[in-house]
A and B are shown apart, each in its own frame.
Chain A
Amino acid sequence: MATLDTRLEPLPAKPEKAPMIAPGHTPGTVTEHIASIPLTPIQKTPKWWLGGFAVAFLVLMVFLWSVGNLLVRGVGIWGINQPVGWGFDIINFVWWIGIGHAGTLISAILLLFRQGWRTSINRFAEAMTLFAVACAGMYPILHTGRPWLAYWLLPYPNTMGLWPQFRSPLIWDVFAVSTYATVSLLFWYTGLVPDLATMRDRAQNRFAKIAYGALSLGWRGSAKHWHNYETAYLLLAGLSTPLVLSVHTVVSFDFSAGIIPGWHATIFPPYFVAGAVYAGFAMVLTLILPLRPLLKLKDFITDRHLQNMAKVMLATGLIVVYGYAMEFFFGWYSGSHTERFMLMNRAIGPFRFHWMTLILCNAIVPQALWFKKVRSSPVALFVVSMFINVGMWLERFVIIVVSLSRDFLPSSWGMYRGSIWDWGVFIGTMGLFCSLLFLFIRFLPMISIFEMRTMVPADAGEKEKAQ
């Protein structure tokens, strides 16, 4: 045996995977740590939160100001024109909704693949999904020009005797995005209920007790509760998976069902879905990297989580780059004069700087993620994810504006630039997004507590008893 042991000894040289939760935690300490963040008394609200929320709220006022102006003066204050009828509004719509996709990927698809590491980040990513979809939804509604009549998009009996055109990708969008928003909310809330019960039981202040109590619906955590709950949660994950893939597919149909050069391509659905996940993970990292030290969450969101997210980003980024390459191949192989022209126009036309920056941000800079040093450095990851955030916005700009501004007839060509109100609405939705996120991390547990309890090694409780 002894000889065997010595022979076997070098084997563990393969480094053991870093734990997904720092050692020494028990269900009690996990609960204490995560629940104490939203239960901090109002007087003890951290300064960084107050400062951050104030800035976000100010930016939200920019949104209200820009939208107020839009409602009074009409969409003419935007930069949209003939031929570029879709400008910032649709770019931002696609950008925001893409960001949302990472949340569903993390919470649903990684659950089905039994990726335990998702547990630390799924709640936060789902909240991000919800808020990103709320921001995305603003744009098509505002773009209708008369947002107070946006309900006309829904099928309902009305005195005008009108019904929506169900063959239109824009109506598909209405169905896809509203279903996605509803299901994301259901998924998020269902996940929250057991944690809201924890908050109810731990809250000291009467108002908090009542609020969390009402929201937790009287959850008791009985075996029957958990049995139905786990079944429902798993089914929701299974249903959200095709849903999330369908949403960005339908968004890509907005383009690919049209005949505009550069849009009419079969590669759009997979390429858009990969881009959405790519952008979403970049946004998750952008938000989580600063929050991790601020909320002292390094025990739960470990370096291994960052590594994994970086790897997903690298993989989806490569799919996106493949999409860019294939767009050029299709353009050339189609033999179509306008398709070939569109691609030349993309690379060397009036919007060439947008395109070159896009390639830099989305294709070149993220290759740094091949190196473990980059993947394990929060600062480097933050920088890379910022590049991707910008790059993915530019990608939508290039797809929409370059194709629309120069289509088949040179006589109908035009130029496009966003007006100050376009920027006001865009930056304003970031204020909306950040305000909601700040409120979320202040009042709700940003990590799923009950799922983290299951991540604690089984012997932790016994060790605690022994002490």
Chain B
Amino acid sequence: MSASSPAVIGPPVGLWGLMAEFPDPKSLAQAARRTHQAGYRRVEAYTPFPVEEVMEALDHHHSKVPLMVLAGGILGGLGGFGLQMWTNLVAYPMNIGGRPLISWPAFIIPTFECTILGACLSAVIGMFALNGLPMPYHPVFNVPRFSERASTDGYFLVIEAADPKFDRSGTEIFLQDLNPSEVSEVEP
């Protein structure tokens, strides 16, 4: 449990964190709020469906996704319009009875579609990147209860051993105090 070699500084080897299971989203939200108030920062709560109170309790307020979508949309739009400009001015100018090369109203539809495409691609890719996915391995799945129930009807709270406030016995007592149905160790 404890560090076997003096060179290792930090959390004890063989422990990634402590996990507490709660019977319903409401008690998980309460526990998450108290954990956050107690000063723990490397905390994560797991629910089988989005629960607003839990997200708020852990201070997840500003997602970066909208900014990425805005940037993706602007890039897509400029790229789409720019492609048509360049095509018609440089790559393949066609003089048809002296009509303007940049007849921009006709270019709006491809521009619009490129805007939506850029925005949607950045929404999905950005969301997965911000969530650190794809991630083929994660320690939380080492807890059998978690890999069995977390995606059905289990509500879990994990405090990482890497948290500066983490203390093997103190944190366990703290978690037990939150009235969970079970507390288990998470192996790395």
Contact = CB atoms under 8 A, between A and B. Distances in A.
Pair from one complex: yes
Interface of A: 26-28, 31-32, 155, 161-164, 166-167, 171-172, 175-176, 179, 182-183, 186-187, 189-190, 194, 197-198, 200-202, 217-232, 235-236, 239-240, 242-243, 246, 250, 253, 450-451, 453-454, 461-462, 465
A461 B134 contact: no
Nearest to B76: A179
A180 to B, nearest CB: 8
Nearest to B141: A220
10 contacts: A27-B153, A162-B92, A172-B113, A221-B49, A223-B51, A224-B131, A228-B65, A235-B65, A239-B69, A453-B153
A228 B130 CA distance: 7
A183 B117 contact: yes
B164 interface: no
B8 to A, nearest CB: 27
Contacts of A202: 151-152
Given A166-B87, A171-B110, A231-B127, A226 B117 contact: no
B63 A231 contact: yes
Interface stretch (B10-18, B39-47, B172-180): B39-47
Residue among B51, B103, B126, B151 with max Cβ neighbours from chain A (10 Å): B151
A462 B24 CA distance: 8
A461 B135 contact: no
A447 to B, nearest CB: 14
Contacts of A31: 48, 151-153
B91 A163 contact: yes
B7 interface: no
Interface in B126-159: 126-128, 130-131, 133-138, 140-141, 147-148, 150-153
Interface string B27-63: 0000010000000000011111111001101101001
B114 A175 contact: yes
B50 A229 contact: yes
Given A232-B124, A461-B153, 5 more contacts: A172-B109, A189-B124, A218-B137, A231-B65, A461-B24
B127 A175 contact: no
Contacts of A183: 116-117, 120
A27 B49 contact: yes
- Top 9 closest pairs, chain A to chain B, by CB: A232-B127, A218-B135, A217-B134, A167-B106, A226-B50, A227-B60, A198-B151, A175-B113, A163-B92
A31 B23 CA distance: 17
Given A202-B152, A226-B47, A227-B63, A182 B117 contact: yes
A31 B150 CA distance: 12
A228 B138 contact: no
Contacts of B47: 221, 223, 226
B20 interface: no
B75 to A, nearest CB: 14
Contacts of A200: 151
B137 to A, nearest CB: 8
Contacts of A171: 110
A221 B141 CA distance: 12
B136 to A, nearest CB: 6
B46 A222 contact: yes
Residue among B46, B57, B117, B127 with max Cβ neighbours from chain A (10 Å): B127
A235 B126 CA distance: 12
A163 B110 CA distance: 14
Contact of B46 (A167, A220, A454): A220
B136 A220 contact: no
Nearest to A462: B24
